[in-house]
Structure 1
């Protein structure tokens, strides 16, 4: 008898989820499993928004951003009584295994669900913040970085034309990964992230000297988690450095866009390893990517640990920005 397996998306959406859904259906059927979609994340699990999936449901979605089956942040799933309802709904559909695209909060919720009700699951790290411990890469990050790159390149055109400083804010919560990588790969003159203490005064003399030597514009890439508002950074450029400044907050555009080739490929690999793990007695794990390979790690090693930025990236930050 064919076993049933479901997939859901939890938390913030990322480009790469739709390619993951497509391969989930294809790989499940290849392994003689019946694939199901859970719509709207854990909310859908509670409300029984669970339907069998087929090739028709995933045709033409590999190039689409976001997630066809929706996502949510569910407060109800934090309560035991609603988790019990979710289990009843899974039992009604005879679903024994669950693949979860999400972040550490989603994985902690599933860990509790597994311990209470024995629902086998595998988590796939999916967040543009790239802030999940235990994995060097999360689904959606490459697409987000390319969206940011396109925006910065466009802003550089107007910055150079008008001779201005632009302060560009990226997402990332308390993790500066997006800002750091974007600054390094765009040649920005300033990068500020939550992980590294900074004092704007240390840049004043250098920036003034650069203007005296002919510099016409500045690009400053800052993470949303820094201590100061981006408008304060722009004000500092105008009052202390002596150059007109503007602010660009990239916001949720960083989550959208056509998935890059890399994210489509990573979606394929993440899903394959997740399903293989579930079929080989990995019943409460997260599939992680490090040093070119995939491993299953326990929830304790992922969702309950603090993410640390790559030390080599931090060295590059120190070398380029003298922090």
Structure 2
């Protein structure tokens, strides 16, 4: 039984999942394991949408965003009766090891599943929000940041041509990581994130002064988790600062696209450590990454704990 291992994706898709899925098949076979795909996340686990995977299944997918095996947010998996069905389906295929690409909610579900049925697992943090406690980097983040960078560079051209302020909304839920890093790497004039209180009145005189001295445009990057609506920020630019403003909501384009080299490499490494951990007997863990490299952490160290942004990055914003 211990020679069969499966992978599934849960929650929002990210670019980097396909490279990870590809290497999962290759590394599993290299280690003498038989790899299986669970399609459409926990929903597929409940519906027995499980198939043995081969090299042919992953040929050519490394350049594609999203995930070949699908993903889902499963309300059914929250119910004990459906988790029992999921366990029976795994037993049909003699699968006793799971690698799961997902986020906080996915890992909490796995923790319950393990405690009930003993299916050992290793989680790989995979969310562009980069909001999982215990890891400095989640799969898909680099591609998302590069998509945002490209969008900001294009918007800057139009903003300059028309003498406008552009308010660009990034994803991130209650975590401002994408907005903060994009602000620091794009040279935008304003950044608003949930982690830092702000008062727009403090910017009015300075922004007016900059317009008086020849500034032609402003770029404001805001995280979707701030209290104000993005359109209200645009109205503030027009009424208080005195410059025409437009809003761009980047939305789901941040989640897709050709995975960057870094996300491909991280997918490769995450999978290596996850499979090795399971082979070595780890029962329930999450592979995390920090300045000291890759390390295993328990669910209790990861799930349900709010992640704090890097104080060094926050200091640049506060200053």
What is the TM-score normalised by the length of structure 2?
Answer: 0.99
Cα distance per residue 1:250-302 (max 9 Å; x no partner): 00000000000000000000000000000111110000000051001000000
- Other structure's SS at 2:136 match: coil
Q: 1:244 to 1:154 in 2, by over 3 A?
A: same
1:103 maps to what in 2? 103
The answer on 1:35 being equivalent to 2:30 is no
Matches within 5 A, 1:209-228: 209-228=209-228
1:204 maps to what in 2? 204
1:285 maps to what in 2? 285
Cα distance per residue 1:61-90 (max 9 Å; x no partner): 001000000000000000000000000000
**Alpha-carbon distance in 1 for matches of 2:134, 2:282:** 17
Q: Which runs of 5+ in 1 are unaligned?
A: none
Post-superposition shift, 1:304?
Answer: 2.5
The answer on 1:94 being equivalent to 2:94 is yes
Cα distance per residue 1:207-233 (max 9 Å; x no partner): 000001110100000000001001000
**Alpha-carbon distance in 2 for matches of 1:10, 1:266:** 18
**Alpha-carbon distance in 2 for matches of 1:3, 1:276:** 13
1:58 maps to what in 2? 58
Cα distance per residue 1:181-210 (max 9 Å; x no partner): 001100000000000000100000000000
- Other structure's SS at 2:96 match: strand
- Other structure's SS at 1:95 match: coil
Post-superposition shift, 1:306?
Answer: 1.2
Cα distance per residue 1:94-148 (max 9 Å; x no partner): 0010000000100000000000000000000000000000000000000000000
**Alpha-carbon distance in 2 for matches of 1:238, 1:316:** 26
- Other structure's SS at 1:32 match: coil
**Alpha-carbon distance in 1 for matches of 2:285, 2:295:** 10
**Alpha-carbon distance in 2 for matches of 1:16, 1:102:** 12
Q: Which runs of 5+ in 2 are unaligned?
A: none
**Alpha-carbon distance in 2 for matches of 1:169, 1:180:** 12
**Alpha-carbon distance in 2 for matches of 1:241, 1:207:** 6
Q: Is the 8 A contact 1:2 1:32 kept in 2?
A: no
The answer on 1:258 being equivalent to 2:262 is no
Matches within 5 A, 1:227-246: 227-246=227-246
Aligned-residue CA RMSD in angstroms?
Answer: 0.7
Matches within 5 A, 1:153-164: 153-164=153-164
Runs of 4+ residues deviating >4 angstroms:
none
- Other structure's SS at 2:153 match: helix
Q: Is the 8 A contact 1:2 1:34 kept in 2?
A: no
